[in-house]
Amino acid sequence: MERRTDSLQQRLLKSQQYVIYAASLTYVLFVLLVSLVNPASSGPQTFLLPRFGLALLLILTSLAVWAMPQSMRWIYLTAYLGCLLAVMTEIPRVLGADQSVLQLFLWQSVSVLISFLILGSRWGLGANVLTLLTILGSLMLRGPFSMAQLADWLTVCLTLTITTYVSYLVVTFIEGNLLTHEQDQGKLLAARQDALTMVYGRGAIEEELERAMSYSRQHNTPMSVIVTDIDHFKSVNDLYGHATGDDVLRAVAKRLRRAVGSSGGMVGRWGGEEFIVLLPGLAKPEALVIAERLRREISGQPLADLDITASFGVASYRGAYDTADQLFGRADQAMYEAKNLGRNAVR
């Protein structure tokens, strides 16, 4: 339709981008702060290398997502595999140095949530199961452990398992609601849209006309309408068939929509071969200019391989006591005047 807003999918994509940016920035700050608080000496400098490498990977991931947001899932999967390599490197170091697993556990918990948000329920579940298997495999290859280490790592694995399960349930529920919402939106759009021409249907454009007039009444702003009717359309149907007539209707609607969409105009099919164009914020002189441009758009090139013309009538909102019926009636009357004066004209 003519008035466009971001869809749920577009808003979700933006949210996913911001999550990746925020997580990457937070981890980079964490690495920098840790390196300042506990600078590497000649002994344990290797323990900082995986962190710096992972920080660099996350910076590159953010840049790649910024440059190619539509490929975000594959970019994230690539980064996720890099994170798994970092985990495999960190586990032997933590075990060998008998250090706390708290930092690794906390960041891995964040990773669980982000994976489900970016990848969805199925891919997110697969990625996190792979992470758990990687942790368990690294532990089994490294062993044996002290009892304290064993208790810590059992806690990590069990907590990550329940976090993964709960996240999976929540994301599955959200995805189900999103699907239901999209289906409802599709039904609503189908009810408001003319099935043949894909512009507003009669009922929907009447609602938009009332809404536009109400806005003009409250804010004392101009608005205009253009009523257009395809010339000799009955002859097109009689000579070439209704399929060709439908092609002409679709082509006319497309040109009208394309011509006024950038200026905030709305196009609706009033009935048969008659269309209405709403122009909120535009007075009659500007509307006449647009109507003439529309006339040239339609007559300038063949539509469905036929030379087609249309007649246009323009009317503008006159003030608080003007009604939608009166406004449309004036535009419709002007359109018939254009017909009577030879068609392919604007009045």
Q: What is the DSSP-derived secondary structure letter of residue 200?
A: B
267: three-class secondary structure by DSSP:
strand
Continuous H helices in 70-101 = 72-97
> Buried (b) or exposed (e) across 269-300, using 16+ Cβ within 10 A?
bbeebbbbbbbbbbebebbbebbeebbebbee
H/E stretch holding 210 reads helix 202-219
**Residue 51: CB atoms within 10 Å:** 21
CA proximity to 20, closest of 78, 69, 62: 62
Among residues 175, 273, 292, 297, the one annotated as catalytic is 273
Angle, alpha carbons 126-130-135 (nearest 5°): 150
273 part of the active site: yes
Distance CA 321, CA 338 (A): 27
What is the rounded (10 degree) CA torsion for 325, 330, 332, 336?
A: 150
**Which residues are catalytically annotated?**
273
